[in-house]
Each structure stands twice: as structure tokens, then as C-alpha cells.
């Protein structure tokens, strides 16, 4: 069932017919599905005399004494999650069942380009993306934080963990209430406001194996007085790095193929270096080889016995054995070295923040309440890894002399492939300040007003070690030949790494500033009384402006970085003015079968400077059938305006190396069946090496003037059962959301790979790049140009079911509390182009694939006995596989009917903790991943980026292993 943003309001009653089938959910941990009060709903301030105890709850603008949301929600108590072993707000949100069913960007994406830069941690609800999951702090919108031009979503690293009280997640489209980005839902982070003593806290987490340790210290203090309160917190924490060498399942990636007899048939490692324990080698990095452009020697690699064939002493042309030709498969290439194990799987991160709140009630104008919040956060992240450096080195003898040294000739004309460090660091300061006033009007019916303003500012610098084109010795970019001998074994093999760094390297630094200003005014009150109660309402206006100024390094702007995309300045501002309203209409009450029946409707109109204008709506029914059975349903539309980086990303004309973007190079040795078939169908020789080569020209940039807002239709229906005979709460919720005109950039390598890895060929991806004809004498078969800009790309549809059950009981020995949350993901379908234009890519359902399990469940059991609390926490991730993207039975280097592992087994993680509390102190001790569950493996041909043999996208799996953690709180 779907609804268009362009439907007229007269069509809204259609969805009310669904009431006969409807049910509603209010999924939560420690939640009470009875009427929400000020203890379990987000409030802009504590209840006081001026507002008569009325509060504003997450998901609504209306202030009222009692409220039951029509939208499905999860409420997460921060202290309960700490006791379950989730030590940060980012962990609590990303590991919730409504988020953990899809890949979450956390601190283990070292070496990957992600939104906001390496180390940025965001929330992706239901797989719709962080751009479509709005994060609030106490009901107000903070701005983005991060580095590089693609800064957009809020960075969860800025949240003060020790000052967080609870998390409230609205799980349907909420743009009519909160504006842009609230397509998948809204996570509202509620902080502690009432603190009347000083509390010191210290936390440590230590894996049983070394690497990945975590430390945190903090203090929180406050003062409550007759008319207000103040609160101040400060914390510092550090996450130590986890290198791939710290865990056996990360340090040695292998092909992982099996024969028809069940035995491993991975290629034998016949190179001089083998650090594996089974003779199959570790495929960490391809280096220490020379690609001969003349074709005489092919690829030269070190020989195991030191013999020489060709111009380089100790090197000879490599030969890769195949089962169909040689009766066995082997490789002679260098793919591993001990120094490569310093690559970080989890980045080193250091964070500090200061957070303060204040509120005060004034006596003028019938009572006016003032509140303010301030947050400063600093994050420093460092990532270390490795990359290849493979410049084109020619000379006079082949007609390509260097202008600065026309007589230079290398021993081999082609590309030496060398290892080079790939390190990155970020230092980000984030500031957020908000202040507001609210009061009650002197009217017969209750009417309140509020106005607040917020400002956030992020200033981040980012540094990485780079290779300068102008010092690279690459004849395509440099007028001088190599400054060190690229063909010496010490440079090719990495032993003389520092010489290479001194010759070609430099550190480059960029800076990103993102700021946001918002002012909002809301009136809320009772219009008039109906037979079933007062018709409540809220109306308001909002203005928001936001801007980005990303200044990449000068070398990047000058296209002087080898192997990296040049980046121009991303600079622009946007603003929006919005008007919105909400009505809560009591239809029936106090009748048999209708304890209450309420209709909630809301709408918001918006007008962006860049991004268009439109309006969205939402309507919901809340039907309390009996005291123990409640049914709810919602339907509506939401929107997301183009992000600043999607509008104003600096136009880039960059160069892509053929080896980096063309899957048809050496396609005969590819483990992807489609690539082999489609490259052959395109007439590309099976031994095509990319030579003679020139870089592909890649056009990319922002889409200002061409992009439309994303729009969405959402529907939820569910039920909640709270029987009177026991303290049980069971809720079930079905949801469906369709996002239209999604904005995305496909990436140069993604475009080319999409063309050749599709089930059908050619397809629409193939229209986004050009290839030089094979008859060209200078660069036959080279990729020529790739067109990669932000575009609106049809739609994404998700649907699924959430189930929650909670129960508590008092016994002589204590109180037992049980809770289970389970999210079943039924569909997550992307349509990249119009159906039929890309056979095999028109509709792709990611549910059940690696990184997108179809079920994620949590279970918790607590026993409270006197001063003790014992907690058992279980996390379940269902089995996933790549069957939609790779065949389990395939051909492996000429071995027919080989089997590869494309399945990740289900995972169960067990956490235990014991909490002991006294008046002045408390101690919490726990073990996470009690049985030391290791992440499962997949084969190299499964179509996934792996670290070791573990897919990077499988963020649901634990990389650290069993670990002990301790928290000590001391109250003064």
C-alpha cells in the first residue's frame, strides 16, 4: 500500500479502511504501552505549574497530559544498555534491531571512503541510509559533523554518553513533524536534566586477546533549585586500534574454494613469501611485480630460487597454473608481507566532550520557562593501511622520453607495482548551542507557546599521506624520471619504504566547515471540545539555514595527487522555510469496543532555496479496543532535500587508472562468471593487460539545478497486547516504506563493474562510460571517459515486521525482567534504473545478503535482588548469503563445479554483567561475547570487500572477540 505526495487531502480517508485489519506496535525495552507520561516521553522541560504537567513527546508537536503515539516506537534506556555491554550511544543505536539489519558505518571502515570521513559513525534505520534517518537531541536538530565534501548525516561520536538518559526512536516517516531527512524515522537522544550531585565515572574494556582496548573517564554534576536547574558533564575516552595482525581471521585473506571431493583447491602459493599455515598464501596486497608494457615478459615477479629470466636480477615472468591446463592451480606473485599486518581493522580514536544544560522559570507573562544546552565535542581518528603505487615508467627507447631527462630508459618499460602506506587522520571540533522560551497563554482552553533557536558548527581538518603526481616519475604526470630506482628489490618489496616515501610522498591537509542555524516557533492548544474529548492542535513555522565549506588540500585541487581523485572546493548554502500543523481528534470514547478512538493528522509545507517546494502529510488512527488490546495504523509521505554535498560538490575532472576501474583487465583470471563472459562478449582479449595505457577521464560533481527532493510513502499497522492478569507487553508492527527519486552517485569503478558484472550485457551502466576501440594503436581497449554525477535514481522499497515482548515479575528472591526484540526484514529492493533497462540490476533485493540479514533479535534477562542486578543479553544475527550476486558452484581457474563459500553463518553473541550499587558508589562488571564467537568467512568470489576473510559490510559481526569490561561510578 503506498501513497503519493501529490495526492490531494480528500484522498486521506482511504487508508482509514485499513483499520479493520490494523494493528499497532509500540516496541520498546522497559517501555509501558499504557498512556505515556512525563517519565517515559521526551520533554522539552520538566513538568511544572505553568504547563499543568503537559509534555511534548517524541513524534508529536502537541502538548498534552496523556498521550499514546500512533507511530511505532522503540524506547531504549541508556543504563539498561550499559549493563548489557553496549558502552556508547552509537553502539546502542546501531545495534538496536531496527538498525542492525543493515550495514552501519562505525569505526571499522578504515581505508574506505565514507560520508563524513573515516571514523564517522552514523545511524542507518531499516536500511534506508543515514541521510534518511534523522537524529535529534532533546527534540531539536543538531547539524552535521565530519570531514570532506560529503559531510551530511550527524556524527554519533559527538553525543555525551555519560549524560544520556534514554533513546526514543520513531519508526515511520515523520517529515510532517520534523521536516527533511525523517524518511526512515527519528532517533531522539534524551539527556539527563536533573542532577543534584557530583558523579565520577571510569570505564575500561579489554579484549582477552590484545588490541581494541577502550577507556573512558568522566564527571557529571548539577544543581536543582526552586525555579530551575543546571547540569554539567565532561568525558574523555579512547579506542585503541585493532590491527589485522591482532586476529587470525583478519590477517590472511584466502580464496576459499573446494573441489567436488570436499577438499580445498585454493591456488598453491609458489612465491618466495608464504606467511600462511596451509600453503595457500595470504592475499593481502599485490605488489613486488613489474608489468611489462612491451608484452615481451608479461609480469615479472621474484623467483623462489633467485634465478633470473629477463632484465631484472632475481625476477622472471610469472606463470599462473590452471586446473584445466596444468592439472593444478598456483600463483607466483607476491601477495603478502609481515608489514602489511599493521593495517587497522578498527581505527584509533580519541574523544572529548563537554555538555551543559540549564533551565529557569520566570514569573513574568504568566510564567515563562527558559532552557539552554551547550555541547562541545572533539574527535581525533587515525587510520593506517596500505595501497599500491604503480606509475607508468617509459623512456626514450619506446618513444616516450621524459622532458627533463630525455636519455632516461628504465630496465623495463611498464609499471612497477610497489607497496605504499595509506594513512589518514581527522581532528574535528563540533559545537552545538540551543536556547528557547515557552509559556502558557491566559485563555479558557489550554494554549501554550514555545520558540527556540539552535546553532551548530563543525570544523574538521583531515590529513593523509599522498603521492604527488609531480614527483611520481609517472610519465603521464611528471616531466622527470623516477627519483629512486623503482625496479630495485628493496623498493618493489617494501624493505626500502622510507626511501620511496621521501622521494614521492607528502602529507596533505584539507578542512571542512559545516554550520547550521534554526529558529522554530510553535503554538499548541485545545481548539474546542468534542463528545469524546478536546480537539488538540499545534501549529508552527520554522526557518533553517545550513552551509558547507570544504577546502581540500592545494595538491588535491591542483590534481597533483597520484591515484587519488582530485577534489575542488565544495562550498554552498541552502535554506528552507516551513509551515506545519498537527491535529489530534478524539472520535469515540467510553463505548463498548471503543475505550478510545483517536485520529491524528499532520502536514508540513516547505520551500527550499535549492531543492524545490512541496508538502507532506501523515495520518494515524489509535484504537483502544479494550483495556488490554490496542490497534494503531499510520500512513503518510515524507521527503529529503538534496544534501549540501549532493548539490555543491565541486566539479571534478579526475583521472582513474585502468587497473583501478577496469574489471576486464586479465579477466581470464577473474573469479566472477559474469565478468569473464561479458568482457569476452565485448571483444576484449582474455590476457588484456591495460597496456599501453592512459588514465580514464572521470567527470563528477554536484547536481545543483538538476536534483529533485527525494519523496517517500510509508504505511504502518500493528497491535499491542497488555493483559491485565500479568505484567506482560506484546507488540507486533508491520511497516512499508517506498523512497522515490533517490539521490546517489554510482562511482567510476561501480559504473564499469555494473556494466560487466550484470546478468545481461550490455545494460544501462554501459551507457555511462566509453571505451577506446581495439583498433586504436596507442591505447587499445582502454576506458576513455566515465560520467559519474549525482542523479535521482528511481526508488527503494522496504518492508518488514517488528516484534517486542516484555514481562516482569516479583518473587521472594527478587524481581525478574525479560525482554525480547526481533526485527524481520522482508524486502529491501533497489531499482537503479527503470525496470528492464538493466536486466539483473533493475530490481535487487538485498534482504538476506551479507550485511542485510533477514532477522536480527535481542533478548535480555535481568534479576534485581537487593543491591545486585544480574544481566544476561543475547544478540542473534541470521544467516546471510550472496546467492543473488554469486554462484556457489562455479569454475575456479579451470576447475569445473568448484564450490565457493558465499554464506555467512548465523551468529549468537552472549553478554553477562553484574551490577552492585551502594549509596556513594556502584560497580558494573561484564563480559561481552562470552563464548568468543568469531565472524564467519566468505570466499574471494562472493562479490564482497573483505578484511581477511571477513566481509567489511557485515558490521553485525564482532571483530574484537571475548572481552572484559568494568565501570566504576563514585558519587560525592
Res 35: pLDDT: 37
- Among 290, 292, 319, CA closest to 304: 319
What the chain holds in terms of domains, given with CATH numbers, is 73-248+343-650+702-745+790-971 (2.40.170.20)
Compute the distance between CA of residue 278 and CA of residue 613 in angstroms, rounded to an integer: 62
Res 7: pLDDT: 36
Q: Nine-digit cell at 842?
A: 533493475
- Among 782, 534, 793, CA closest to 682: 782
The residue among 34 and 499 whose pLDDT is bigger is: 499
Res 1: pLDDT: 32
Query: Which of 61-70, 519-528, 835-844 bottoms out in mean pLDDT, i.e. has the lowest?
Result: 835-844
Contacts of 185 (CB under 8 A, 6+ apart): 98, 125, 126, 133, 134, 169, 170, 171, 172, 173, 174
The residue among 704 and 404 whose pLDDT is bigger is: 404
Q: Nine-digit cell at 772?
A: 577506446
pLDDT at residue 841 tops 60: no
Compute the distance between CA of residue 309 and CA of residue 320 in angstroms, rounded to an integer: 16
- Locate cell 579451470: which residue? 894
Can you tell me the mean pLDDT for 393-406?
93
pLDDT at residue 40 tops 50: no
pLDDT at residue 119 tops 90: no
pLDDT at residue 120 tops 80: yes
Compute the distance between CA of residue 552 and CA of residue 568 in angstroms, rounded to an integer: 7
Helices vs strands, H then E, count in the chain: 12, 49
H runs (alpha helix) in 239-331:
248-251, 323-326
Q: What is the pLDDT of residues 657-711, one digit of tens each?
A: 788 889 999 999 888 888 999 999 999 999 898 876 677 888 877 777 778 888 9
Q: What is the pLDDT of residues 719-745, one digit of tens each?
A: 999 999 999 999 999 999 999 988 887
> 769 pLDDT band (50/70/90 cuts)?
very high
Res 851: pLDDT: 92
Asked if residues 190 and 170 have their Cβ atoms less than 8 Å apart, the reply is no
Compute the distance between CA of residue 863 and CA of residue 489 in angstroms, rounded to an integer: 64
- Locate cell 550531585: which residue? 197
pLDDT at residue 836 tops 90: no
Q: Nine-digit cell at 712?
A: 517517500
Q: What is the pLDDT of residues 427-438, one digit of tens each?
A: 999 999 999 999
Asked if residues 755 and 766 have their Cβ atoms less than 8 Å apart, the reply is yes
- Locate cell 479496543: which residue? 625
How would DSSP label each residue in 754-797? HHHSSSSSS-GGGGGEEE--TT-SSSTT-EEEEE---EE--EEE
pLDDT at residue 41 tops 80: no
Compute the distance between CA of residue 967 and CA of residue 972 in angstroms, rounded to an integer: 17
Res 30: pLDDT: 33
Give SS3 for 901: coil
Which stretches of 470-608 are assigned E, i.e. beta strand? 505-530, 533-551, 570-591, 594-608
Q: What is the pLDDT of residues 443-501, one digit of tens each?
A: 888 899 999 999 999 999 999 999 999 999 999 999 999 999 999 999 999 999 999 99
pLDDT at residue 56 tops 90: no
pTM for the model stands at 0.87
pLDDT at residue 52 tops 70: no
Compute the distance between CA of residue 117 and CA of residue 150 in angstroms, rounded to an integer: 8
Q: What is the pLDDT of residues 706-715, one digit of tens each?
A: 788 889 999 9
Q: What share of the chain is helix, strand, coil (3-state, %, to 5)?
A: 10, 45, 45
> 18 pLDDT band (50/70/90 cuts)?
very low
- Among 820, 834, 829, CA closest to 872: 820
Q: How far is CA 714 from CA 15, 369, 561, 635, 639, in A?
A: 11, 36, 45, 6, 11
Stated as kind and residue range, the H or E segment containing 456 is: strand 447-467
Give SS3 for 831: strand
Percent of the chain with pLDDT over 90: 71
Compute the distance between CA of residue 780 and CA of residue 775 in angstroms, rounded to an integer: 6
Pairing of strands 743-744, 629-640: unpaired
pLDDT at residue 53 tops 80: no
- Among 419, 390, 421, 416, CA closest to 487: 416
Pairing of strands 185-191, 164-170: antiparallel
Q: What is the pLDDT of residues 774-822, one digit of tens each?
A: 998 878 999 999 988 787 777 899 999 999 999 999 999 999 999 999 9
Stated as kind and residue range, the H or E segment containing 730 is: strand 728-740
Give SS3 for 522: strand
Res 751: pLDDT: 86
Contacts of 263 (CB under 8 A, 6+ apart): none
Asked if residues 855 and 823 have their Cβ atoms less than 8 Å apart, the reply is yes
Res 46: pLDDT: 38
Asked if residues 687 and 670 have their Cβ atoms less than 8 Å apart, the reply is no
Res 565: pLDDT: 67
> Rounded mean pLDDT of the chain?
88
Could you give the strand order of the β-sheet that contains 185-191, starting from the edge strand earlier in sequence? 73-77, 164-170, 185-191, 133-137
Compute the distance between CA of residue 646 and CA of residue 790 in angstroms, rounded to an integer: 6
Asked if residues 781 and 769 have their Cβ atoms less than 8 Å apart, the reply is no
Asked if residues 922 and 202 have their Cβ atoms less than 8 Å apart, the reply is no
> 835 pLDDT band (50/70/90 cuts)?
low
Q: How far is CA 576 from CA 516, 519, 547, in A?
A: 12, 11, 12
Asked if residues 266 and 276 have their Cβ atoms less than 8 Å apart, the reply is no
Phi, psi for residue 17 in degrees, rounded to 5:
-65, -20
Res 832: pLDDT: 73
Q: What is the pLDDT of residues 906-949, one digit of tens each?
A: 999 999 999 999 999 999 999 999 999 999 999 999 988 899 99
Q: How far is CA 667 from CA 225, 385, 663, 756, 869, in A?
A: 73, 27, 7, 11, 59
Contacts of 747 (CB under 8 A, 6+ apart): 788
Asked if residues 920 and 279 have their Cβ atoms less than 8 Å apart, the reply is no
pLDDT at residue 763 tops 90: no
pLDDT at residue 195 tops 60: yes
Amino acid at each position: 500500500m503506498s501513497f503519493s505526495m501529490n495526492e490531494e487531502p480528500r484522498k486521506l480517508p482511504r487508508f482509514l479502511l485499513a483499520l479493520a485489519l490494523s494493528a499497532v506496535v509500540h516496541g520498546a525495552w522497559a517501555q509501558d504501552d499504557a498512556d505515556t507520561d512525563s517519565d517515559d516521553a521526551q520533554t522539552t522541560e520538566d513538568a511544572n505549574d505553568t504547563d499543568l504537567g503537559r509534555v511534548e513527546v517524541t513524534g508529536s508537536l502537541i502538548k498534552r497530559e496523556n498521550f499514546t503515539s500512533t507511530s511505532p516506537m522503540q524506547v531504549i534506556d541508556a543504563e539498561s544498555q550499559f549493563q548489557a555491554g553496549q558502552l556508547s550511544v552509537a553502539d546502542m543505536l546501531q545495534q538496536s534491531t531496527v538498525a542492525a539489519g543493515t550495514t552501519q558505518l562505525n569505526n571499522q571502515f578504515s581505508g574506505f571512503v565514507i560520508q563524513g570521513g573515516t571514523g564517522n559513525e552514523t545511524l542507518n534505520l531499516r536500511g534506508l541510509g543515514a541521510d534518511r534517518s534523522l537524529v535529534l537531541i532533546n527534540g531539536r536538530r543538531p547539524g552535521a559533523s565530519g570531514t570532506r565534501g560529503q559531510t551530511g548525516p550527524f556524527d554519533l561520536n559527538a553525543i555525551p554518553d555519560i549524560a544520556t538518559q534514554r533513546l526514543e526512536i520513531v519508526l515511520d516517516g515523520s517529515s510532517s513533524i520534523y521536516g527533511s531527512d525523517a524518511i526512515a524515522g527519528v532517533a531522539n537522544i534524551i539527556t539527563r536534566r536533573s542532577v543534584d550531585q557530583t558523579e565520577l565515572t571510569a570505564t575500561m574494556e579489554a579484549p582477552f586477546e590484545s588490541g581494541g582496548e577502550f577507556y573512558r573517564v568522566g564527571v557529571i554534576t548539577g544543581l536543582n533549585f526552586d525555579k530551575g536547574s543546571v547540569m554539567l558533564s565532561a568525558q574523555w575516552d579512547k579506542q585503541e586500534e585493532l590491527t589485522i595482525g591482532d586476529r587470525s581471521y583478519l590477517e590472511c585473506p584466502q580464496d576459499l574454494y573446494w573441489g567436488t571431493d570436499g577438499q580445498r583447491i585454493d591456488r598453491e602459493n609458489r612465491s618466495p613469501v608464504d606467511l600462511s599455515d596451509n600453503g595457500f598464501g595470504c592475499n593481502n596486497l599485490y605488489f613486488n611485480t613489474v608489468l611489462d608494457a612491451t608484452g615481451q615478459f608479461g609480469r615479472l615477479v621474484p623467483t623462489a630460487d633467485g634465478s633470473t629470466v629477463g632484465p631484472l636480477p632475481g625476477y622472471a615472468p610469472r606463470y599462473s597454473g590452471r586446473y584445466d591446463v596444468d592439472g593444478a592451480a598456483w600463483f607466483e606473485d607476491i601477495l603478502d608481507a609481515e608489514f602489511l599486518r599493521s593495517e587497522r581493522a578498527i581505527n584509533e580514536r580519541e574523544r572529548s566532550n563537554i555538555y551543559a544544560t540549564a533551565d529557569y522559570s520566570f514569573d513574568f507573562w504568566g510564567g515563562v520557562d527558559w532552557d539552554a544546552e551547550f555541547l562541545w565535542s572533539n574527535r581525533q581518528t587515525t587510520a593506517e593501511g596500505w595501497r599500491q603505487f604503480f606509475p607508468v615508467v617509459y623512456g626514450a627507447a619506446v618513444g616516450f622520453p621524459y622532458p627533463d631527462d630525455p636519455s632516461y630508459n628504465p630496465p623495463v618499460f611498464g609499471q612497477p607495482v610497489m607497496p605504499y602506506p595509506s594513512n589518514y587522520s581527522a581532528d574535528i571540533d563540533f559545537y552545538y548551542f540551543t536556547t528557547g522560551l515557552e509559556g502558557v497563554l491566559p485563555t479558557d482552553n489550554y494554549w501554550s507557546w514555545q520558540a527556540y533557536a539552535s546553532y551548530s558548527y563543525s570544523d574538521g581538518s583531515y590529513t593523509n599521506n599522498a603521492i604527488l603526481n609531480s614527483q611520481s616519475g609517472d610519465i603521464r604526470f611528471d616531466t622527470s624520471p623516477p627519483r629512486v630506482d623503482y625496479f630495485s628489490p628493496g623498493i618493489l618489496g617494501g624493505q626500502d619504504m622510507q626511501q620511496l616515501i621521501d622521494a614521492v610522498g607528502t602529507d596533505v591537509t584539507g578542512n571542512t566547515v559545516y554550520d547550521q542555524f534554526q529558529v522554530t516557533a510553535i503554538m499548541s492548544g485545545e481548539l474546542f471540545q468534542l463528545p469524546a474529548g478536546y480537539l488538540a492542535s499545534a501549529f508552527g513555522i520554522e526557518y533553517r539555514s545550513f552551509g558547507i565549506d570544504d577546502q581540500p588540500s592545494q595538491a588535491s585541487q591542483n590534481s597533483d595527487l597520484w591515484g587519488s581523485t582530485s577534489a575542488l572546493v565544495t562550498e554552498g548554502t541552502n535554506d528552507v522555510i516551513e509551515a506545519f500543523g498537527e491535529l489530534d481528534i478524539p472520535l469515540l470514547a467510553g463505548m463498548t469496543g471503543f475505550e478510545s478512538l483517536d485520529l491524528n493528522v499532520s502536514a508540513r509545507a516547505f520551500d527550499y532555496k535549492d531543492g524545490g517546494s512541496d508538502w507532506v502529510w501523515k495520518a494515524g488512527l489509535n484504537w483502544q479496543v479494550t483495556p488490554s488490546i490496542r490497534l494503531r495504523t499510520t500512513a503518510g509521505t515524507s521527503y529529503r532535500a538534496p544534501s549540501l554535498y549532493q548539490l555543491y560538490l565541486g566539479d571534478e575532472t579526475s583521472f582513474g587508472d585502468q587497473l583501478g576501474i577496469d574489471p576486464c583487465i586479465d579477466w581470464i583470471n577473474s573469479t566472477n562468471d559474469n565478468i569473464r563472459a561479458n568482457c569476452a562478449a565485448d571483444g576484449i582479449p582474455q590476457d588484456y593487460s591495460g597496456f599501453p595505457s592512459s588514465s580514464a577521464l572521470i567527470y563528477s560533481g554536484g547536481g545543483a539545478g538538476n536534483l529533485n527532493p527525494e519523496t517517500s510513502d510509508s504505511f504502518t499497522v500493528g497491535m499491542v497486547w497488555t493483559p491485565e492478569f500479568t505484567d506482560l507487553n506484546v507488540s507486533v508492527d508491520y511497516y512499508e516504506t517506498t523512497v522515490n527519486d533517490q539521490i546517489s552517485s554510482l562511482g567510476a569503478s561501480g559504473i564499469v563493474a555494473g556494466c560487466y558484472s550484470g546478468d545481461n550485457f550490455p545494460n544501462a551502466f554501459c551507457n555511462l562510460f566509453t571505451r577506446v576501440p581495439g583498433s586504436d594503436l596507442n591505447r587499445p581497449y582502454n576506458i576513455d571517459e566515465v560520467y559519474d554525477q549525482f542523479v535521482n535514481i528511481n526508488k527503494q522499497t522496504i518492508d518488514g515486521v517488528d516484534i517486542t515482548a516484555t514481562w516482569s515479575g516479583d518473587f521472594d528472591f527478587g524481581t525478574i525482567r525479560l525482554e525480547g526484540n526481533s526485527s524481520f526484514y522482508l524486502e529491501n529492493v533497489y531499482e537503479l534504473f527503470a525496470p528492464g533497462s538493466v536486466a539483473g540490476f533493475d530490481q535487487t533485493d538485498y534482504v538476506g545478503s551479507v550485511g542485510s540479514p533477514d532477522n536480527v533479535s535481542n533478548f535480555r534477562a535481568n534479576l534485581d535482588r537487593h543491591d545486585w542486578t544480574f544481566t544476561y543479553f543475547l544478540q542473534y544475527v541470521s544467516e546471510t548469503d550472496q546467492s543473488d550476486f554469486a554462484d556457489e558452484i562455479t569454475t575456479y581457474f579451470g576447475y569445473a563445479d568448484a564450490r565457493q563459500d558465499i554464506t555467512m553463518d548465523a551468529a549468537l553473541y552472549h553478554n553477562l554483567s553484574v551490577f552492585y550499587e551502594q549509596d556513594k558508589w556502584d560497580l558494573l562488571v561484564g563480559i561481552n561475547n562470552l563464548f568468543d564467537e568469531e565472524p564467519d568467512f566468505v570466499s574471494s568470489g562472493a562479490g564482497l570487500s573483505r578484511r581477511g576473510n571477513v566481509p567489511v559490510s557485515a558490521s553485525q559481526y564482532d571483530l574484537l572477540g571475548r572481552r572484559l569490561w568494568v565501570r566504576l561510578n563514585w558519587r560525592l
